[in-house]
Chains A and B, each alone.
Chain A
Amino acid sequence: MLVAVLTYVGYGVLTLFGYLRDFLRHWRIEKCHHATEREEQKDFVSLYQDFENFYTRNLYMRIRDNWNRPICSVPGAKVDIMERQSHDYNWSFKYTGNIIKGVINMGSYNYLGFARNTGACQEAAAKVLEEYGAGVCSTRQEIGNLDKHEELEKLVARFLGVEAAMTYGMGFATNSMNIPALVGKGCLILSDELNHASLVLGSRLSGATIRIFKHNNMQSLEKLLKDAIVYGQPRTRRPWKKILILVEGIYSMEGSIVRLPEVIALKKKYKAYLYLDEAHSIGALGPTGRGVVEYFGLDPEDVDVMMGTFTKSFSAAGGYIGGKKELIDYLRTHSHSAVYATSLSPPVVEQIITSMKCIMGQDGTSFGKECVQQLAENTRYFRRRLKEMGFIIYGNEDSPVVPLMLYMPAKIGAFGREMLKRNMGVVVVGFPATPIIESRARFCLSAAHTKEMLDTALKEIDEVGDLLQLKYSRHRLVPLLDRPFDETTYEETED
């Protein structure tokens, strides 16, 4: 409670100073570093609303150095970061030419540690690159459907345990360009409130009605499902054509795992379809890395649309959709991506193929399996230690995404900088990616992290936590950690 009040006070002070500085800027007392409109176009309607940029100008700019840190090495367990300096309070950066070497990387989504510049994957990719070149220069439907793509799709289908699969050049676009192919006007999308921007964009582009249920709250979802079927479409009262539930495997900002068994039960009961986005969970969950479906021991047949990305666990790029043969056939003919967008780059395809085979154990080693186990171990160890130290962390205990609550805006910048000083690269996030009072730091664990690295990291986090007084957890508060899973906190949602 006190923390919440202080957080609001923090934002209040920042806003107040923001207005003061805007006032000074307006009268040219303070130098304005902003890029400006061309003289010739001053009389055009202004491109941005003044208020829109207020947050950027006055809040984000203060701590801008915590983001977009350029790295110049493999995004593996340790990275090299290019040192930046700013002489005008983060309005612009200059590179000093120095490189901060060996920073422990807790920010990249390198869950299984396949981000490496040596080894089987890299060699295979290099070979394909030399043979095929980097690009494709055409779309899947025209003349950009390479044999490599076909090979990859068969492998992905096998990996997921589904009938067929299709792959796309970009994870974000997989969502935003395929949801419109599946649903349209007269259909209903039930979307988790914390779904990724790509799912939201895809839903919007589809033209279907969108309703939001509380994060991972099954009562909320069931109520929406029931009401949707009973009352039909608004105004016309016609029944919905179909209902699609959109959920993610692991939510990237919360670290929570979807309650898939319940979702599947509901989906079956109400005859809805399920679209599962496994961007973060594929490879990272389940005893053999097949994602959240395996984690809960469920049948992939029960998930109608299995979507995921290759960016994270596979350390490549692109996305896939897996499911029944009819679904994939339909997507092959109707996906926006297949018709209008360039297909996956061949060396990237090869990286996915080799890393996926490695996880499946088809390369003849048990390396992939060990990676999956290592990640699970690292996750539990790291989460347990953080909890013991008295931090408030969110999410499921098996989730490799670990958000640590900072709450106050000033601590976002302080935490990020202190950690970098101690050779630790972490991700800090604030509004608007999170609710305004729930700013947080996020650690992404990797199978590539050794025990020593984690111990060093934990030691540094402990120190910085004491320095910034981040150990909010009192024993009394511990049950609150499970808040997203607590059914009693459910409140009526408004349509």
Chain B
Amino acid sequence: MMATGAELLPSGAARLLSALLYGACSLLLVLLNKALLTAYGLLRPPASLLPNCASPSVLGANPHLADSFDFDLMAATIMILFVAKLNKIIHFPDFDKRIPAKKSTVMHRKKSVAFSDTLPGDYTYPPLTLQLSPGLSPLPQWALTRSYECGQACRCSPCSGNLPFHLLYSWRPSYLGEFHFSFLFILSVSPTPALFLSREFLPSSQLFRKQHSLDIVASVFAIVLGAVVAAGSDLAFNLEGYIFVFLNDIFTAANGVYTKQKMDPKELGKYGVLFYNACFMIIPTFIISVSTGDFQQAGSRTFSVCVLTQVSADVRYSSVQSLQLSPHHGRGWSHQEGILILWIIRLLFSKTYKLQERSDLTIKEKEELIEEWQPEPLVPPISKDHPALNYNIVSGPPSHKIVVNGKECINFASFNFLGLLDNPRVKAAALASLKKYGVGTCGPRGFYGTFDVHLDLEEHLAKFMKTEEAIIYSYGFSTIASAIPAYSKRGDIIFVDRAACFAIQKGLQASRSDIKLFNHNDVADLERLLKEQEIEDQKNPRKARVTRRFIVVEGLYMNTGSICPLPELVKLKYKYKARIFLEESLSFGVLGEHGRGVTEHYGISIDDIDLISASMENSLASIGGFCCGRSFVIDHQRLSGQGYCFSASLPPLLAAAAIEALNIMEENPDIFAELKKKCQQIHKALQGISGLKVVGESFSPAFHLQLEDSTGSRETDVKLLQAIINECMNKSIALTQARYLEKEEKCLPAPSIRVVVTVEQSKEELERAASTIKEVAQTILL
């Protein structure tokens, strides 16, 4: 463009200089704008980094969205000008065939300079610049865009008479929701005088042949000076960003100068150019808006913006006109400028806060900090007499007769409900497996860690529980703790009983879902929570459609020994469409006629429960755990159950032991009734001990003895109970306290002695145990 314009201008050097100067001035304007924005605390993190976010300030900040607003602004311009023309307020030639040609020369020239500059508004440029400078993030994108706009508006005003048009641009209700019109107006027009300055020295100003009074020039200088001061104190100054601004300004300025030379404003008239410019550009703008999808996005806003723009245009028409015409009528101009300058000076000097000093630490300071830092010890020291530090040492097998700390006792502490631990059949099966497969599996299930025994056990379990599929884990604790997070994710809701055991708590924590606790076995409380959630869902049905709901309960609670009210829960399940996960570690192999657990106990179809999980470490007297249910549910864990995928598989001998234990359970369903009878017997015998109360169902093989009246301190309670246990041990009854991590439990149960009943204990032994406990408790507690 330099070359084409060369013959029209006095000298190339002058043009280059003028372009440079013009660019420099524009840059200063940008700085000024930025300073103003900073002063008003309007700079924000670049919201455009969050696409698809619909807050008002973001709309303006999103450069793509600008297209659609260009469109409606253009439409507004056309409408206003057309109406004005009809009313004979302004004049420009009617449309004829020559106009597109005239326009297109203008357009064509423009395009030859910077294609992007002529297309929908000047908006294609800022994003372009931003793409060029990815490191520009410290300079908020919208502030940059905004500065551009102002600069552009002024720049174009002397050339093509586009000021009103650009002013309309500038006034974007969507741009900054809280912007006051007046402030915005100042922002938009304040750079204009600075343009004057540049124009004084531009060769193009010769076209206008205007002389400006000294006071105008002085005021313009004052503004520029202010801008420099502001920029100097601007902490977010980004050299790279401003260089791009500067380059763009140079090009635009040069373009403007050139266009002005080639254009004959007299022929079309100022408004004519504006009108036809808008008329022509509206079509490509529309196409671009639609093609980028912004039109639809902004569609709902388009109409309102149109109306607003028209109204605002009417309001400001007079002021715009006066500004526009002011070069020809010097007085009005300087009056306006005076107000503006005062405003700006006020803004610059009325800073009520100091920008934070950046405090980069020196290397030495950092080293000192590192030197000074003293971490806490890895673990706090443990006192030698911590109640849990010194474990009981069991010599020999932990079966019916157990040798604890050298003393032989009857075992009332291990969860060996069915006495399968030392069952010869189970041992023989495990031994056979050991001789065939060795001990370890040397791999997770996916990588050659699947043995035929595992498949057998899964099939056996599924058949036993009458479900479609079962999946085994190599550790009881990890079973439910892995199963819950496999289904429930962030944002889902889990309703869980307060007394849920620790493994469930860990599963809930790993799932990162919303946890809602309901009171222990309190169906009404659960329903209240479900109802609350239902109301919540009605408020936001869209979210509710993707929020999964789970109810997690235990069959027999490890911490309380009570049974869950399953029939009511199933009713709630269908009413509120929540899935039930049932943890049956204690009830599997205990409750029901065939030992299938709580579902069989209540006579509920197992299909009504979405997932049942249980450990094989209690009734089955092996190691590991399993989940069972429909294939639709269970199969998912084979890729998503962390404890399944990422852990070595269960040693085959333990799987073989579990299979044999299941066989025995299937063959002798009487043992479940026998176990129940024994539970009821000791339960009854333990009633009425003064100072101790029995907590748990009468048919639960694991129940608790709690102090009737707590001493008030957990520590003394624990010591009291331990004293009872020690004394019982001396009398050959092995018992244990239920141990908890006091700080980790969500709802810490009261300290208790856990009594475990097994089928191996004879009637006499049960009686003896009850009387021993009674006797010892009496002596210690009274």
Chain A residues at the B interface, C-beta cutoff of 8 Å: 34-38, 40-41, 43-49, 56, 60, 67-76, 79, 82, 105, 107-110, 114-117, 121-122, 125-126, 129-147, 150, 169-173, 176-177, 180, 182, 196-198, 201, 204-205, 226, 229-230, 239-244, 269-273, 304-305, 309-312, 314-317, 326-327, 329-334, 336-342, 345-348, 351, 425, 427
Which residues of B (706-758) have their CB < 8 Å from a CB of A?
A: 734, 736-741, 744, 754
Q: Once the chains bind, are A341 and B450 in contact (CB under 8 Å)?
A: no
**Nearest-CB residue, chain A, relative to B740:** A339
Question: What are the residues of chain B within 8 A of A171 when measuring CB–CB?
Answer: 647-648
Partner of A147, one of B380, B395, B422: B395
Question: What are the residues of chain A within 8 A of B635 when measuring CB–CB?
Answer: 35
**Nearest-CB residue, chain A, relative to B633:** A47
Question: What are the residues of chain A within 8 A of B654 when measuring CB–CB?
Answer: 134-135, 345, 348
Q: Once the chains bind, are B451 and A205 in contact (CB under 8 Å)?
A: no
A72-B452, A137-B398, A143-B392 given; A304·B438 CB < 8 A: no
Report the bound CA distance from A317 to B382 in whole Å: 29
Q: Once the chains bind, are B414 and A137 in contact (CB under 8 Å)?
A: yes
Q: Once the chains bind, are A242 and B438 in contact (CB under 8 Å)?
A: no
Report the bound CA distance from A205 to B506 in whole Å: 7
Q: Once the chains bind, are B396 and A79 in contact (CB under 8 Å)?
A: no
Known: A115-B442, A142-B413, A230-B369. 4 other contacts (CB 8 A): A108-B448, A147-B393, A196-B646, A427-B448
Partner of A115, one of B438, B445, B509, B647: B438
Report the bound CA distance from A198 to B468 in whole Å: 29
Report the bound CA distance from A135 to B436 in whole Å: 19
Report the bound CA distance from A107 to B449 in whole Å: 9
Q: Once the chains bind, are A173 and B478 in contact (CB under 8 Å)?
A: yes
A68-B450, A117-B434, A336-B741 given; A239·B441 CB < 8 A: no
Q: Once the chains bind, are A351 and B439 in contact (CB under 8 Å)?
A: yes
Q: Does B81 count as interface, using CB distance less than 8 angstroms?
A: no
Q: Once the chains bind, are A348 and B632 in contact (CB under 8 Å)?
A: no
Report the bound CA distance from A482 to B322 in whole Å: 72
A67-B446, A144-B394 given; A326·B431 CB < 8 A: no
Question: What are the residues of chain B within 8 A of A41 when measuring CB–CB?
Answer: 577, 579
Question: What are the residues of chain A within 8 A of B437 when measuring CB–CB?
Answer: 73-75, 117
A36-B632, A342-B623 given; A71·B389 CB < 8 A: no
Report the bound CA distance from A38 to B610 in whole Å: 10
Q: Does B510 count as interface, using CB distance less than 8 angstroms?
A: yes
Q: Once the chains bind, are A146 and B398 in contact (CB under 8 Å)?
A: yes
Partner of A135, one of B386, B621, B648: B621
A-B contact count (CB 8 A): 360
A69-B448, A108-B447, A145-B392 given; A182·B379 CB < 8 A: yes
Question: What are the residues of chain B within 8 A of A47 when measuring CB–CB?
Answer: 487, 548, 579, 632-633, 636
Q: Once the chains bind, are B402 and A130 in contact (CB under 8 Å)?
A: no
Partner of B393, one of A110, A150, A330: A150
Report the bound CA distance from A341 to B381 in whole Å: 24
Q: Once the chains bind, are A136 and B398 in contact (CB under 8 Å)?
A: yes
Q: Does B100 count as interface, using CB distance less than 8 angstroms?
A: no
A133-B427, A347-B434 given; A273·B378 CB < 8 A: yes
How near does chain A come to B615, taking the closest CB pair, in angstroms? 7
Q: Once the chains bind, are B478 and A109 in contact (CB under 8 Å)?
A: no
How near does chain A come to B571, taking the closest CB pair, in angstroms? 13
Q: Once the chains bind, are A122 and B427 in contact (CB under 8 Å)?
A: no
Report the bound CA distance from A43 to B738 in whole Å: 42
Question: What are the residues of chain A within 8 A of B395 when measuring CB–CB?
Answer: 146-147
Q: Once the chains bind, are A72 and B381 in contact (CB under 8 Å)?
A: no
Q: Does B607 count as interface, using CB distance less than 8 angstroms?
A: yes
Q: Once the chains bind, are A139 and B739 in contact (CB under 8 Å)?
A: yes
Q: Once the chains bind, are A226 and B435 in contact (CB under 8 Å)?
A: no
Q: Once the chains bind, are A107 and B415 in contact (CB under 8 Å)?
A: no
Report the bound CA distance from A163 to B520 in whole Å: 44
**Nearest-CB residue, chain A, relative to B402:** A143
Interface-located stretch among B120-128, B306-314, B469-477: B469-477
Report the bound CA distance from A316 to B438 in whole Å: 9
26 intermolecular pairs with C-beta atoms under 8 Å apart: A47-B487, A47-B548, A48-B636, A68-B446, A70-B450, A73-B437, A75-B442, A75-B448, A107-B448, A115-B438, A117-B434, A129-B430, A129-B431, A129-B434, A132-B397, A142-B738, A142-B754, A143-B734, A176-B478, A226-B370, A230-B366, A239-B373, A311-B440, A311-B648, A333-B382, A348-B654
Question: What are the residues of chain A within 8 A of B579 when measuring CB–CB?
Answer: 41, 44, 47
Question: What are the residues of chain A within 8 A of B431 when measuring CB–CB?
Answer: 126, 129-130
Q: Does B622 count as interface, using CB distance less than 8 angstroms?
A: yes
Q: Does B376 count as interface, using CB distance less than 8 angstroms?
A: yes
Question: What are the residues of chain B within 8 A of A82 when measuring CB–CB?
Answer: 452
Question: What are the residues of chain B within 8 A of A332 when measuring CB–CB?
Answer: 388-389, 391
Report the bound CA distance from A35 to B415 in whole Å: 36
Q: Once the chains bind, are B623 and A134 in contact (CB under 8 Å)?
A: yes
Q: Does B245 count as interface, using CB distance less than 8 angstroms?
A: no
Q: Once the chains bind, are A334 and B445 in contact (CB under 8 Å)?
A: no
Question: What are the residues of chain A within 8 A of B510 when measuring CB–CB?
Answer: 201, 204-205
Report the bound CA distance from A270 to B378 in whole Å: 14
Q: Once the chains bind, are B477 and A340 in contact (CB under 8 Å)?
A: yes
Q: Once the chains bind, are B396 and A172 in contact (CB under 8 Å)?
A: no
Q: Once the chains bind, are B443 and A108 in contact (CB under 8 Å)?
A: yes
Report the bound CA distance from A180 to B416 in whole Å: 30
Question: What are the residues of chain B within 8 A of A334 when measuring CB–CB?
Answer: 741
How near does chain A come to B2, taking the closest CB pair, in angstroms? 41
Residue with the greatest number of chain A CB neighbours at <10 A, chosen from B402, B437, B645: B437
Question: What are the residues of chain B within 8 A of A49 when measuring CB–CB?
Answer: 546
Q: Does B535 count as interface, using CB distance less than 8 angstroms?
A: no
Q: Once the chains bind, are A35 and B632 in contact (CB under 8 Å)?
A: yes
A129-B653, A130-B431, A137-B621 given; A44·B442 CB < 8 A: no
**Nearest-CB residue, chain B, relative to A53:** B636
Partner of A316, one of B440, B450, B478: B440
Which residues of B (473-509) have their CB < 8 Å from a CB of A?
A: 474-478, 487, 501-503, 506, 509
How near does chain A come to B705, taking the closest CB pair, in angstroms? 15
Q: Does B9 count as interface, using CB distance less than 8 angstroms?
A: no
Q: Does B150 count as interface, using CB distance less than 8 angstroms?
A: no
A126-B435, A330-B380, A339-B741 given; A45·B375 CB < 8 A: no
**Nearest-CB residue, chain B, relative to A127:** B431
Which residues of B (540-595) have their CB < 8 Å from a CB of A?
A: 544-549, 574, 577-579
Report the bound CA distance from A67 to B645 in whole Å: 11
